[in-house]
Structure 1
Amino acid sequence: MRDFGGIVERSPVRVVRPRSAGEVARAVREAAAQGLDAVPRGLGHSTYGQSLTAGVSIDLRELTGVEVGGRHAVAAAGTSWREVLAATLPHGLVPPVLTDYLDVTVGGTISAGGVGGTSHVRGTQAENVLALDVVVDGGEPVVCSPAVRPGLFDAVRAGLGRHGVITRATLPLVRAPERVLCCTIPCRDAADVLRVQREVRADDMSAQIKPSDDGGGWTYEVKAVLHGDGAQPPPGTTDTEELPYFDFCDRMRPDVEELIRLGEWARPHPWAMVFLPAPRAAAVIKATLADMTPADLGRSGVILVKSLRVGHVPMLAVPDDPVLFSVLRTASPGCASAAEMLAANGTLLDRTRAVGGTRYAVDSVPA
């Protein structure tokens, strides 16, 4: 069995596909009685075997369903964010933070942390949770929240399943816009990207670094997305596109379909994702890019930069004023090998730790 990273492979003793919290609890109890690890797995979008085990794999993809009531939704852990949106948007509501890629699960991203375009304002998905249903060690199902078992609540959010299996999440909802204005702002370098992300007010914010067309360097651009009618492009905008809100949320689907067609989606993905302290981020990004060529990134690789706010998520170790720097490599034919990309990820981790940064633990950095 592999995950999305396609680098680590493990064979579980058995795979359990529960359809209820009770079946999850039974699987955890039986694994404990046999001295086996029980590891939850959603859509397996981790990149270095974090969702794999040689014990009991608890495949949560059949534990699905969403109920919307008032300004909150209750979603089973195996529900994808696409399915959450399908349930909430008819009510004109949406979770405060969505991942850029919708085909990952509620339980999986809350267990990891979950960063999205609105995280510079609203924090991570792990912060935007009202309550969780969890099966703890020994197979006991319990409910936790900031007021009920707060220690467990803090341990399972961004806890990578080590302190319990999330079976259901109660999520806050906010008003969804009908349309958005997507604005592209070219930047000179990484420092300029961070300046724009700090100074421009936008509802959704991200940045991408791409190989330049002449192959002689890198180009930098910020995507600032404004919600609602009548929005005015920020200073420096060179291109705009107006989209229905759901089309914006699902913007990755055409690209993913093309990557699947080309075979790139199935190739190894040695991803490096690190949290850098904002005052030192530009220097680390510059040094990393100086060591890279497009072949070190892969044909479908992507580099992202995202300033964010984390709030109270104790299990998610980040520096003050964090910047998420993501080098999302693909080991394409004719490019650097997966082993070479992993070695480069290790170098980035060394640089990150040297300036007081941390790694995002769903990445492919050999620690």
Structure 2
Amino acid sequence: MRDFGGIVERSPVRVARPGSAGEVADAVREAAAQGLDVVPRGFGHSTYGQSLTAGVSLDLRGLTGVEVGARQATAAAGTSWRDVLAATLPHGLTPPVLTDYLDVTVGGTISAGGVGGTSHVHGTQADNVLALDVVVDGDPVTCSPAVRPDVFDAVRGGLGRHGVITGATLRLVPAPERVLCCTIPCRDAGDVLRVQREVRADDVSARVKPSEDGWVFEAKAVLYGDGAEPPPGTAEAEELPYAGFCDRMRPDVEELITLGEWARPHPWGMVFLPASRAAAVIEPTLATMTADGLGLSGVILIKALRIGHVPMLDAPDDPVLFSVLRTASPGCASVPEMLAGNRALLDRARAECGTPYAVGSIPV
């Protein structure tokens, strides 16, 4: 069995496919009686075997469904964020933080933390959970900041190690009908960080692209609602429906699937950096990289964010997420070479008080 990263392979003793929280509890108890580890798995979008096991693989894709209430929604753990959004938008509501790629599960991203373009305002997806249904040691538990906060804090960002999330109550906010997407060219990493700090936008991110003259930096500022004015320095602006903006990756993913790139190994390196020291890690990392080290469809992202009370998510204060999302394309660097680059990135990050984002492909 492999995950999206395509680097690590493990063969589970068996795969359990529960259709309810009760069946999850049964599977966990049975595995414990046999001395087997249990690892929950949604769509398997991890990149270094985080959703794989030699014990019992708990396939949670059968736990689906969304119910929308007043400013909140309850979703089963195997529900995709695409399905959550489809359920909330008819009510004029949206989760405050969405992943760039919507075809990942609610339980999976809450277990990882979950970062999106609005995380500089709202924090991680784990910050925006009101309550959770969890199986701990074979027992179903409902937890929240007020009820069993020890469990609530252990499973958010806990990568499934301290309990299996079976359902979540999610905070919702009013959804805009349209957004204005603005591209702001930047000189370097420091300029990107300055723009992300100073711009007033609902959604911010930045991308670094290879070119014949080196690396090109551009920040993205997205403003919600009608009548928004592009921020200073904007070179291009495009107005989109909110739903279309949220699903902006779909055409690219469909093309990558057609080209075979989506099925390649993805040695992703992802680190949290203190904002004041982020450029000191990003610039030397790029100076030692080539386009071949990134891969034909690889992406480099820089994202300033804030993290609220998610104790299991190890990140510095005022963090920046630096993501080198490599793809081992034919004719480019090999997987071992890309993993070595990730290791060097982590060493550089740690020297500047940074930490790894646990969903990345960084040998530690």
User: Aligned residue for 1:189?
Assistant: 188
AA partner of residue 313 (structure 2): L
2:197 is the alignment partner of 1:198: yes
State the alpha-carbon separation in 1 of the partners of residues 223 and 275 from structure 2.
Answer: 24
State the alpha-carbon separation in 1 of the partners of residues 310 and 48 from structure 2.
Answer: 23
Q: What TM-score, normalized by structure 2, do the two folds share?
A: 1.00
User: Aligned residue for 2:243?
Assistant: 246
Alignment of 1:252-291 (within 5 A): 252-291=249-288
- Give the unaligned 5+ runs of structure 1: none
Size of the aligned set, in residue pairs, is: 364
2:38 is the alignment partner of 1:41: no
State the alpha-carbon separation in 1 of the partners of residues 341 and 3 from structure 2.
Answer: 21
2:360 is the alignment partner of 1:360: no
Q: Deviations over 1:325-354 (max 9, x none)?
A: 000000000000011000000000000111
Q: 2:340 aligns with which of 338, 343, 347?
A: 343
User: Aligned residue for 1:91?
Assistant: 91
AA partner of residue 353 (structure 1): R
User: Aligned residue for 1:223?
Assistant: 220
AA partner of residue 210 (structure 1): K
Quote how far apart the aligned CAs of 1:226 are.
0.3
User: Aligned residue for 1:128?
Assistant: 128
State the alpha-carbon separation in 2 of the partners of residues 366 and 73 from structure 1.
Answer: 37
User: Aligned residue for 2:146?
Assistant: 147
Quote how far apart the aligned CAs of 1:103 are.
0.2
User: Aligned residue for 1:156?
Assistant: 155
State the alpha-carbon separation in 1 of the partners of residues 40 and 220 from structure 2.
Answer: 34
Q: Secondary structure at the match of 1:141?
A: strand
Moved over 6 A (4+): none
User: Aligned residue for 2:321?
Assistant: 324
Q: Deviations over 1:98-148 (max 9, x none)?
A: 0000000000000000000000010000010000000002x1001000000
User: Aligned residue for 1:211?
Assistant: 210
State the alpha-carbon separation in 2 of the partners of residues 338 and 219 from structure 1.
Answer: 25
Quote how far apart the aligned CAs of 1:320 are.
1.1
- Give the unaligned 5+ runs of structure 2: none
2:76 is the alignment partner of 1:79: no
Q: Secondary structure at the match of 1:126?
A: helix
State the alpha-carbon separation in 1 of the partners of residues 237 and 136 from structure 2.
Answer: 48
AA partner of residue 124 (structure 2): T
State the alpha-carbon separation in 2 of the partners of residues 128 and 311 from structure 1.
Answer: 9
Q: Deviations over 1:217-265 (max 9, x none)?
A: 0000001000000000000001000000000000000000000000000
Quote how far apart the aligned CAs of 1:8 are.
0.1
User: Aligned residue for 2:307?
Assistant: 310
Quote how far apart the aligned CAs of 1:316 are.
0.3
State the alpha-carbon separation in 2 of the partners of residues 283 and 71 from structure 1.
Answer: 41
Q: CA RMSD, aligned part only?
A: 0.4
